[in-house]
Structures are given as structure tokens and as C-alpha cells.
Amino acid sequence: MASKEITSTNTVEAADDVSAKIVDRSDADSTHTRSSSPVAQKPKQTWRSYFWDTLDKSPEERRFLFKLDAVILTFASLGYFIKYLDQVNVNSAFVSGMKEDLGLYGNQLNYMVACWTVGYVIGEIPSNMLLTKVRPSIWIPACEVLWSVLTILLSKCQTANQIYVLRFFIGLAESTYYPGIQYVIGNRKDELAKRSCIFHASGSIGTMFSGYLMAAVYTLNGNNGFRGWQWLFIINTTISLPIAIAGFFFFPDVPEITKAWWLTKDEIALAKRRMEFEGRANRGTYTRAKFRKIFTSWHIYALTLLYIFFNNGSGYGGQPAFALWLKSEGYSVAAINSYPTIAAALAVIFTYIYAWTSDSVFKGARWPPMVFSGVVNIITNTSLAVWNIPAGWKWFCYIIGSIGGGISGLTFAWAHEICSDDNEERALVVASMNEMAYVVQAWLPLIVWQQVEAPQYHKGFITMVFIAAGLIVTSLTIRVLHHRERARKLQLASIE
């Protein structure tokens, strides 16, 4: 890159040189200037981008992004919806008759959650490393089909041990999805947060829908010899399996290897050019030097710690805390499953607010929403730890306390940006973030979120306060480290 003292003539020549390289990469037949390219090296942003980023792009790029969003964002969101639906259904079933029918009066729900988490932890990093070698369009849908089939088998379980085994393998199959999709998403910085958060919001919608679904299918209680909670698992698979199979036909892979039937050759070339401008490295190989580079950088440690604090600082350790409090207050099965969906709906709304403000108001900064969600978690969990508070304030804390879950997409968007120049590091860091967060989640709830202490999880709420403080400190630390790293890269580039 040229230094700041470069002359105007050299600037024009450098621009022409960049244009020529762009033309060579896309196999164009004639020479064009950069202005004729449908992709701008630095995306233009006006007030229209506050609503949706494609409004400021060229017609060609706008058409491409419309197709990409229509397929991959829809597929990713539906897939994450069914993943979360099949992940949290055991909570809905537990508070809707499964506990009584199977005699689960100890900490069995904790163990069910822990078995899923152990499977999830074991599978994440190997799966994401595998995605740098095989086609995501085959691997990810195949795992979706597997967990969909295993879910229906839960309806035939008669003992807790049978549920433990199935939950382990469901977690193992689901481990491919979230970090895998985050690795595959091929958007530029000005587009990434919104799409990552839309994708993540589908998980909250899945949680919300599970509650509504349980309330609805409970009316089938006794039909064909199945209890209401058993019908939940059957219907979950009925919803999940067609979506999983559709993935084989629509998932586009990453730009460098895609053979998607719904993309033209020009659009594939445009997708590759976009990643070049973004500095996104192509797939390479894992070598000893590569591993040394990854594990001597602050990226993998700081970003992983950030996601540990996020993941274990929201969601009450996988326990249906709000629902169990409602149950202790004598609410009906329909109310127990429906009222917590208000919190999930609010989490979806705030997920979108975080994404749009991060990309527009905060000019691509990811840390402000993280600090905000941490402050909210400190306030709500401190109040719930006190417990003897007005009922209205307790309702408020449970409903507003879930909005911190909306920053997940931003944490991964930040990781993509920080690790953009090394494909293998990006895959490993993204997987490690999710992996280590669930390693902690495998044991922490067994200590601070014990089922026998419900609904007054004093230890759990206190722990969440300290985790929220850790989230704030870590996000601010990453901000400083990233700024220093970018300044150092710019300094080296100017010297060259």
C-alpha cells in the first residue's frame, strides 16, 4: 500500500493497477476502471443504510445480495430455529407433565441439559475444522437430519437414562450448526452484524415457538396413547425434517467452492471479489506454523473469554427459571408455557436493535451493545438474587432479563472482522468461542442452577452478576487490543 506522501499521479496509477487486478481475477474481457466495478472496495453508506445496507449498493450487487439473503439467511434462520426448538423442547416437556410421568424429582433436568452440552462440546471444533475441507452443503444438512430423527425418539423414552443418551447424541449433531453457519456466512463488515443477529434471533423465536407449541399440543394429551409432552417431540421432528432435507438443495457453500444452482457465474465471481475486498482469506491448510500463529495471538483467548461470559451470563444455565417460578405460583400449563415467550419476543426485538445500531449509529463498533446488555444483566440478576421484591418488578426482571441474549451475533461478527485475514484461524476461533462457552455450561449449572433450588436460584443469580461484569470488561479490553492491532497494521503498510 502506498504511503501518505504519495503523489497524485502515483495514486491514479495505483488505482488503475488495483482495477486491472480486479479484472484479471474475474476473467473480464476488457479493461475497466474501479468505478465500473459492481463492487466498491469501500462500501458507500448514506442514511438509507440505516434501514438496509443493500440500498446503497450497485444494482448487480443488490440482486446478488437479495438472492443470498433469500436463500442462505432463510435457510440459516430456519435451521437455527429448528436447532433451538429441538434443544429447548425438553424444558417445555419437563414443566408440562414429563416430570410427573417419569418421576423426575431430583436434578434429572440438570443432567439432561448437561448431557446435551457434553455432546455439543465434543463436536464443535472437529466439525468446524472439517468444514475447511468438506462441503458445508453436505455436512451441515446431514447433521440436521440426524438430530431431527433423534428428537422423535425422545417421545418413546421411559427412563431418565434413555433421555440422557439421546440428548448427548442430539447435542453432538447440533454442534455442527451454529459455529458452522457463523463460519460460512459470507458478508462484508457493513452487512455482517445485521445478518448474524437475524440468524441468531431465530433461536429466540425457536424458544418462543416451543412454548406456544407445547401449549397447543397439550390438547392432544392422551391421543393415540401419547401424553402431551410426547406429542411435542413428535411434532418437532415433523417440522424439522423437511427443513433439514431442503438444505441439501439450497445451501451455497463458501464463495471459493460454491456450485449453487441459483447463482450465475458472474454472481459467483462477484461473491469472490467481495471477499477479496474484505480481506477474507481463502481456505488453506493447518500446519504447525499456523497453529503457532493462532495460539500465540490474543484473538483466540480474548474472543473465547468474551463468548464464555455471554453464553453463561444469559439463559439461566439452561433452566426454565421463569416457567418454574410461574409453576410455583400456581399458573396453568398454558400460562407456564406462554408467558415466558414474552421474554423471548423481547429478546428478538433487542437483537435487531443491537444489529442495526452497531452497523449504523455506532459505525461498525460492536462493544456498545455488549456493555449495555451487561449493565441490564447486572440490574435484573441483582434484583432476582434479593428475591423478596415486588411481584411487578420480578415480572419485569424475568421479561427484560433475556435481552442480553441478542448480542451473540455481534460477538461472532466481531470475531469475523478480527480474524478475516486467516481462514483457518477464523474457523478455529469461531468454534473455540462456542466450544469453551459450552464447556463451562456443562458444569456450572450443576453447581449454581440446581433444579432442587428452583425457583429461587440465589447462587445462579449472583453468579450472573459477576459474569455480566466480566462481559463488560472483556469487550472493552478487546476494543483496545483491536484498535492497537489495526494501528500497527496500518503503520506497517505505510512503511511498505
* Residue type (1 letter), 226: F
Scored b (16 or more CB within 10 A) or e, 273-298 reads bbbbbbebbeeeeeeeeeeeebeebe
Residue 311's nearest CA partner among 202, 424, 445, 210 is 445
Q: What does the angle CA 148 – CA 152 – CA 158 come to, to the nearest 5 degrees? A: 140
* Residue type (1 letter), 448: V
433: its cell numbers: 468461542
Rounded Cα gap, residues 130 and 125, in angstroms? 8
Rounded Cα gap, residues 183 and 244, in angstroms? 19
Rounded Cα gap, residues 326 and 303, in angstroms? 36
131: its cell numbers: 468444514
CB atoms within 10 A of CB 19: 18
Look at residue 33 in the predicted model and tell me its pLDDT.
38
Half-sphere exposure of 110 (CA within 13 A, CB side): 15
pLDDT per residue as tens, the chain (496 positions): 333 333 333 433 333 443 333 333 333 333 333 445 677 667 677 777 777 778 788 888 889 888 888 888 888 888 888 887 787 788 888 988 899 999 988 889 889 988 998 999 899 889 988 888 889 899 999 999 999 999 999 999 999 999 999 999 999 999 998 888 877 776 677 777 788 788 777 777 776 777 778 778 888 888 888 998 999 899 989 989 999 999 898 888 888 888 888 888 988 888 888 888 776 666 677 788 889 999 999 999 999 999 999 999 988 887 889 999 999 999 998 889 889 889 988 988 998 899 888 888 888 899 999 999 999 999 999 999 999 999 999 999 999 998 988 898 899 889 988 998 888 898 899 889 988 998 898 899 889 999 889 899 999 999 999 999 999 999 999 999 999 999 998 888 777 6
Rounded Cα gap, residues 299 and 382, in angstroms? 31
Look at residue 36 in the predicted model and tell me its pLDDT.
53
